[in-house]
Amino acid sequence: MKSLQKKALAAAVVAACGVGAAEAVYQNPNGTGQVLIYPYYTVQQVGGKSMNTLITVVNTTTRAKVAKVRFREGKASKEVLDFLLFLSPNDVWTAAVVPADATESSGGRLLSFDKSCTNPAIPAGGVDFRNFEYKGADGLGDGLDRTREGYLEILELATLRGTAATAVTHNSLGVPNNCAAVRTANGAISDPTNNLGVPTGGLSGTGTIINVAQGSDIGYNAVALANWKNSTTTPSLGTESNNLSEGDAASLVSMTLPLGSSNAEVPVTILAAFGGTPSLDAVDAVSSTMMATSVINEYVLDAATASNTDWVLTFPTRHYYHDKETDSPSTNPFTADFLDGEGVCEPIQITYFNREEAGAVAQGSDFSPAPPSEVSAVCYESTIISFRSGKSHHPTGLTSAVLGSKNITPVTVGTFDNGWAELAFTGSDSFLDAAIVDSAAVTGGSIVGSVVGSRFRGLPVTGFMVRSFTNNTAGTCDVVPCQYNASFGHKYRTKMEASVD
């Protein structure tokens, strides 16, 4: 049975339980959706030269849309800037995050020369990121420098029709007809009954981290979540509303699943409905689309090419599971306490291999030589794993080499200059329970069981690996050493525990 058929069957079963199939959020491998998550932005410096982050959003549909754009700093996901974006049919919106000035104590600044409507309007000189939400709140720093790295999310709130659609749609000159019509003081759209429609998805986006002076360019695709919500969301300004907790409380997720009493695991697509904690039900649905027990990727640290490697790990829902302001304990899947000056430090274990390990001779239950490992923690909402092996070109302090990040967990891999690593989440309470789950477990084309209770293992995570090479050959580059950069999405292990009838 094909994946599409499994999804259809699961949707039909859960619909019978009162959850509409269209309400199930899922991570769309085709790259379009109602929600876009950009795992990382930065304006930090590398070698005294500042990064910029370029953002694009594409409306691949013929419907005008209104979306919330929200930038969050990387330590605790505190909001540093948000506004409403209005997309014309088939529109592309572009913007750049740049440093507010040349010092490392400055914050980030958003620039956009795009013609699409925003509310408020973005001034020609840009708008600076703000520290109002975290100043004095958590011991992780009050300065604007905290806004220099983080991540962003874009949520489609509604499609536009009627006078609102006409106002934001580009005319024959390539400019919107009347941005002033949608720039209300509180963000509300006039005559919402006639002007707002159900969101339909179809948004895609990219991020580009570029250091012009250094000659480096790193690109990635935004994570796209489709079917986040099956009803309109009223646009608003000035508050934390219009966020991921306002979606529908069901998800469509592909997982590996133990089948009955057998040790075999089969890939299945399940439709899960969440109903444990009302304030977290919709967040749980989003989290389940990104749950992983471990993250896998490569690293390169060669001396000959002065190579370095950073991994971006972003947990875009983690801030919903703990409340520093009330000092309430964290809830699953994040259960570490928030510590002033440290964050929420979830335990991890990193196992790493060099490139020759696949040729090692198997002895007993493991390969020889046994891989080294170390136990540490990831403490920030957006953490950079900074790989080192003791070479002179590797960083030694609390700044990563490729991205210049200050929000790091350093990892030393001994004498292994290149290879691959697996970062496992080891917290005993790193799981998320689904209140209602149904699945078609398929073997050889036959349905052999349905799941009635399930537990997603791991943590909701996304991100990518970035690596750098340097060519220092005399005469090769006229101004600066040639920099070569690339990014690669992470690979993940997923795990579900379930009872099978």
Q: Are 454 and 434 in contact (CB under 8 A)?
A: yes
Residue whose tokens read 């005559």: 191
Mean pLDDT for the chain? 85
**Can you tell me the mean pLDDT for 129-157?**
95
d(CA 146, CA 80): 9
How does residue 450 score in pLDDT terms, banded at 50, 70 and 90?
A: low
Terminal Cα-to-Cα distance of the chain (whole angstroms):
19
For residue 115, with 0-12 CB atoms within 10 Å meaning exposed, 13-18 middle and 19 or more buried, which class applies? Answer: middle
Give 487's Cβ-side CA count (13 Å radius). Answer: 21
* pLDDT of 16 strictly over 50: no
The structure tokens listed for 274 are 């969440």
- As a three-state string, the secondary structure of 327-362 is CECCCCCCCCCEECCCEECEEEEEEEEECCHHHCCE
- E-only strand ranges, 132-242: 149-160, 196-197, 203-211, 216-221, 223-226
Rounded to whole angstroms, the Cα distance separating 293 from 425 reads 6
The residue with greater pLDDT, 45 or 272, is 45
Which residue would you say has higher pLDDT here, 40 or 440?
40
Q: Has residue 15 got a pLDDT over 60? A: no
Q: Is the confidence at residue 489, as pLDDT, over 90?
A: yes
The pair of three-digit structure tokens given for residue 441, joined into one six-digit string: 């477990």
pLDDT confidence band for 413 (50 / 70 / 90): confident
> Region 112-127: what's the mean pLDDT?
97
How far from 458 is each of 287, 300, 336, 439, CA to CA, in Å? 10, 26, 14, 20
pLDDT digits (tens, 9 = 90+) for 294-345: 999 999 999 888 899 999 999 999 999 986 655 567 889 998 888 777 888 8
DSSP characters over 100-149 = SSSSTTS-EEEE----S-EESPPPTT-EE---TTTTTTSSS--SGGGGGE
Residues of the chain above pLDDT 70, percent: 81
pLDDT the model gives residue 482: 76
How many angstroms separate the CA atoms of 225 and 410, rounded? 31
Count other C-beta atoms under 10 Å from residue 390's C-beta: 12
Confidence of residue 395 (pLDDT cuts 50, 70, 90): confident
Query: Which is more confident, 191 or 501?
Result: 191
Task: Round to whole Å and give the CA distance between 400 and 148.
Answer: 14
**Count helices and strands in the chain by DSSP H and E runs:** 4, 40
State mean pLDDT over 138-144.
Answer: 93
Picking from 36, 72, 74, 171, the residue whose alpha carbon sits closest to that of residue 117 is 171
Residue 290 has pLDDT above 60, yes or no: yes
Q: Which residues contact 194 (CB under 8 A, 6 or more apart)?
A: 161, 162, 163
